[in-house]
Structure 1
Amino acid sequence: VELYSLDPTVTYQHGFVFLRQLAVHLRTAIQTKKAENIQGVYNWQFIHALSLWTNIIGLLHNNKEKLIQQLVHPLTELIVGTIRLIPTARYYPLRFHCIRLLIKLTELTTVFVPVLPFLLEMFDITDFNKRHKTASLKAQYINFDTSLKLTKLQMDDRAYKDGLMDQFYELVMLYLVHYAHHVTFPELVYPLILKCKKFIKICKVQNFVKVIRGLLEKVQENVKLIEERRQKTGLNVKDAKQMNAWLEQSQQKSTSSPLVMHFGRYKSMRQREVLEDIAQKEKISQSGRSSLPDLIRPDRQVAGKQNFKSMMEKDLSDNEEEQEELFQIKTKRKHDEIEENQEEEEQDDEEEDEMEQEEEDDTDEDDEDDDEDVLPSPPKKKRHAKMSNGKSSTSNADEFLSIVKKKFDRRKDRVKDLSVDDF
């Protein structure tokens, strides 16, 4: 802005080219209605470009640069066309950004721009009597200053309508304070008074009605003050000098008007709330999560959770004991099997030795029958080892069955002791 203020002629040339390029993007989006073209307008780059040229034109307009004054109308048409491109509730944040630019343009220049119709459309688009669907923590606060459109989750939340009402109240006050001393103030706010009265009759939410009623009272007080001043002085609308003198005198007294005084209190209170919110966030970030408040739960719920926790711990301990017992039985059975295999191998070795000795005896006695190989039949295995091994295997099986039975009985008793509250 400071660089462009050095040479108004170059600023006019650049401003004409850039505003024309922005107008081409807007015209393409209006004609085609394609998502790509609309996205080329509804983005931060486009909004920041409008904001830049609003500040430049507003700064150079006070210097009475005639070339720069010619750019006020195209810039106003660009901002109004951006609002009218998609006039839906989802793009309320973008609408509020454009309205702030129009209000700033009226403050920096002497050009009158009708802003109230764009704010009053909010009552026609949004139904404030409709109940919200959710009150989630994610969408508890909607920051309209850092967004251009709203999500479906935010539009279904209770904070959505509260934020709309706050933005409406703030923007109306910001716009009317600039004309609070003007002779045409009663005629300017007449549509606003009618719309607010209708809203108070229709709306059933007392919080919203309270906000609109407070705004309506301050506006009506200011209207009465301007009407009394007009009646006392006996203004002649055709006399330009008399009108200018009255406006200068009224502007000097504007600080004592009820609307300006109320806006000053509202602004200081709003700044205090913002500072407290920032301080609270910094405090939470510095202290960390350990200082956050604990969640208070009912005693019955806590007792039920503790009982369930103790049951789970008991069940886990029982399972560990059973697993240890089963492991001991398995190791014992494995040890018994190893001993059995060793005994069987020893018996086989002994039988083989006996068979070799018998063959040698036969060969000594019957030397004549060398051609015929007569294999002796193997002797029968001794059964006393197998009998002992069978007894050990049956004892191990009985121990395993007894442990399984204990486990089943224990779980059966536990199921009987459970109730609905434990779950």
Structure 2
Amino acid sequence: MGKASKATKKFTKNHLKNTIERRKQLARSKKVYGTKNRNSHTKNKLESGTNDNNKNKEDLSKLYSDVTTSNTSHEKDGSEDISVLNVNSKGASLNQVSTQKRRSEKDLLAAIAYCQKLSGTNQADALWKNVEKDLKETLDNVDFDARSKILQDLRLEYAEILLTKFNFEKKGYQNLSSALDTILHIKKFSKFPNGLVTQLCNIFVNHSKAREDIQKAVNHICKIDSSLSVAVFQVFYSPLLDFFKSSPSEVNDFDTLEELQLFLIELLSLNSRFYQKIAFAYLSQLDAHLKRCLKESESSDAYKLIYNWQFTLSLRFWLHVISFLWNDYESISKEISPIAINLTLDCIRLIPTEQYYPLRLHLLKSLVNICRSTRLYIPLSSQFLEMIPFVLRRSSPLSDDKEVMYNFDMYSTLHVPKECLLSKSYRNNVRKEVILLMTEYFAIFSNSIAFPELSAPIIAQLRGLVNESAPGKHVLTFLNKLESTFSFVESRRMNVDFTLNDTSQVEAFEKDLDWRSTPMGKLVSDTT
């Protein structure tokens, strides 16, 4: 291969250095926890005797939704504190004016019209003549700024009434349109409109036709005051966690789940600083649960904090966020991605047994998606290598009844009983998913100048196992394409006259070599 050979070896060594160090640290951590006295009892020991069949539906919403204020509070760059509405000596807030009883829709319209009249907008007398006497006197005696603050509160209260009527009247969508128009006229909030945002969230989840209007309203709230973004996000993130209690196949309204996730991602995209703060905070929460699981390793049920649908789908959501926002906020995503990726790999390594291969495949699928969306190299070969002996191992056939019983859908499964490991159907399902993910993963980097070094371990192990078993058509096809791509890239780099330290030349090489033109790339293109 000439000059590129030594440089390629050096490139591979440096590229995997951080990964090797991370694995050593994880191994040392597990060794420390493993040497503890197994007979001791922890004060916070998880409740024993929990039915293993129900662990995937354990409700951990509070753990995963709570975010420390210090981690997520948005800096205001010197803007005033919006938690309390302060009015000067000549003014008053709406909360200081006759709040003993809730105003009717008619009273609110009259008050809004009178505020606009005092501000110079022409209003018919019939619109404002019924304004409350106390409120009228207050509005007459305050300055323009104080009156504007009262007007915003009146509009907020009016919008909440319209949204309440949305669910109980036939003209619900007409009320929603009026509420949206009112919200868009609000220029500032005296405090976080929790009632309003909660109503918007409930309508978004339960009424698909209203989602576009709800999205406009929420975007407006976050844009006029970015410090409210965290609280708004938390309100909408809560129902998402409710969806995450069960597997995706058990969700009654999958479209709502998808649209809610996309809406939250769009909400994060409104502000780069908000995206950075909220992502760090929630990923830190997930990481804290993993550390708690390791600390409580003496308990046989400690792993249930991590190995459940809520944790898995929450982690996958944040991996999806990184993939989706990479192009818009690349620098921030590069800071966040190592946390999410290392957390995912550590979760996989927590219980790396064959029973939990479905969970591993769920997480690997998200990591492969990041590789595809960002072209970020994540060393996943070892994760695939561990599963290859199992998927190619020969097993004695079980009875037809047991085979049907153990024919799990990988999409709706995180783990399987130990008896299922003998099932041919389970092994076939795992093999299919492993080959599919490996094909996509290696196709992504099939134009990399280091592809031969990347694929060599997989080729060596697969070739040895294939000779000892009946691998099947898909495995042989994958192996042949992998070897062909190995030779293809090696031949293309044979005569290069630069080293891998010359990043501009490396990038030019990989840019000229379209991954779709490689044997592995063509295999993916043909199957999609």
TM-score past 0.5 threshold: yes
In structure 2, distance between residues paired with 1:84 and 1:209: 28
Tell me which amino acid in the other structure corresponds to 2:487: K
In the alignment, structure 1 residue 265 sits paired with structure 2 residue 523: no
Residue 45 of structure 1 is aligned with which of 310, 317, 337? 310
Tell me which amino acid in the other structure corresponds to 1:146: S
Aligned match of 1:195:
461
**CA spacing shift, 1:190–1:70, aligned 2, 3 Å:** same
Deviations 1:130-173 (A, max 9, x none): 32333326336321111111134533322011112111110110
Q: Helix, strand or coil: the match of 1:255? A: helix
Cα drift, residue 21 of structure 1: 1.0
Structure 1: unaligned runs, 5 residues or longer: 268-423
Aligned match of 2:274:
10
Cα drift, residue 92 of structure 1: 0.9
In the alignment, structure 1 residue 256 sits paired with structure 2 residue 521: no
In structure 1, distance between residues paired with 2:417 and 2:510: 46
Q: Which runs of 4+ in 1 moved over 6 A?
A: none
Deviations 1:290-316 (A, max 9, x none): xxxxxxxxxxxxxxxxxxxxxxxxxxx
The answer (yes or no) to whether the contact 1:29–1:41 under 8 Å persists in 2 is yes
In structure 1, distance between residues paired with 2:395 and 2:343: 34
Deviations 1:186-219 (A, max 9, x none): 110000011111101222xx2x254332221111
The answer (yes or no) to whether the contact 2:389–2:465 under 8 Å persists in 1 is no
Aligned match of 1:107:
372
The answer (yes or no) to whether the contact 2:482–2:520 under 8 Å persists in 1 is yes
Structure number with higher helix proportion: 1
In the alignment, structure 1 residue 220 sits paired with structure 2 residue 483: yes
Aligned match of 1:185:
451
Aligned match of 2:340:
75
**CA spacing shift, 1:190–1:74, aligned 2, 3 Å:** same
Cα drift, residue 94 of structure 1: 0.2
Residue 502 of structure 2 is aligned with which of 228, 239, 256? 239
Cα drift, residue 236 of structure 1: 3.1
Aligned match of 1:157:
423
Residue 135 of structure 1 is aligned with which of 400, 404, 408? 400
Residue 355 of structure 2 is aligned with which of 74, 90, 96? 90
The answer (yes or no) to whether the contact 1:181–1:250 under 8 Å persists in 2 is yes
The answer (yes or no) to whether the contact 1:139–1:159 under 8 Å persists in 2 is no
In structure 2, distance between residues paired with 1:120 and 1:112: 17
The answer (yes or no) to whether the contact 2:368–2:441 under 8 Å persists in 1 is yes
The answer (yes or no) to whether the contact 1:134–1:158 under 8 Å persists in 2 is no
Deviations 1:83-112 (A, max 9, x none): 011111111110001111111122222431
| Aligned pairs, number | 262
Tell me which amino acid in the other structure corresponds to 1:151: P
Aligned match of 2:3:
none
In structure 2, distance between residues paired with 1:10 and 1:49: 18
Aligned match of 1:57:
322
In structure 1, distance between residues paired with 2:361 and 2:437: 8
Tell me which amino acid in the other structure corresponds to 1:68: S
Deviations 1:251-272 (A, max 9, x none): 2xx32221111222234xxxxx
Q: Helix, strand or coil: the match of 1:99? A: helix
In structure 1, distance between residues paired with 2:473 and 2:280: 46
Q: Helix, strand or coil: the match of 1:111? A: coil
Aligned match of 2:442:
176
**CA spacing shift, 1:140–1:49, aligned 2, 3 Å:** closer
The answer (yes or no) to whether the contact 1:93–1:148 under 8 Å persists in 2 is yes
Tell me which amino acid in the other structure corresponds to 1:128: R
The answer (yes or no) to whether the contact 2:323–2:374 under 8 Å persists in 1 is yes
In structure 1, distance between residues paired with 2:423 and 2:275: 45
In structure 2, distance between residues paired with 1:217 and 1:65: 36
In structure 1, distance between residues paired with 2:296 and 2:283: 20
Q: Helix, strand or coil: the match of 1:2? A: helix
Tell me which amino acid in the other structure corresponds to 2:522: M
Greater RCO (Cα-Cα under 8 Å, separation 6 or more): 2
Q: Helix, strand or coil: the match of 2:494? A: helix
Q: C-alpha root-mean-square deviation of aligned residues, in Å? A: 2.0
The answer (yes or no) to whether the contact 2:395–2:424 under 8 Å persists in 1 is no
Deviations 1:284-343 (A, max 9, x none): xxxxxxxxxxxxxxxxxxxxxxxxxxxxxxxxxxxxxxxxxxxxxxxxxxxxxxxxxxxx
In structure 1, distance between residues paired with 2:342 and 2:452: 26
Cα drift, residue 61 of structure 1: 2.3
Q: TM-score, normalised by structure 1?
A: 0.58
The answer (yes or no) to whether the contact 2:392–2:465 under 8 Å persists in 1 is no
Larger radius of gyration between Structure 1 and Structure 2 = 1
In structure 1, distance between residues paired with 2:503 and 2:353: 42
Q: TM-score, normalised by structure 2?
A: 0.47
| More displaced stretch, 211-220 vs 231-240 | 231-240
In structure 2, distance between residues paired with 1:37 and 1:119: 26
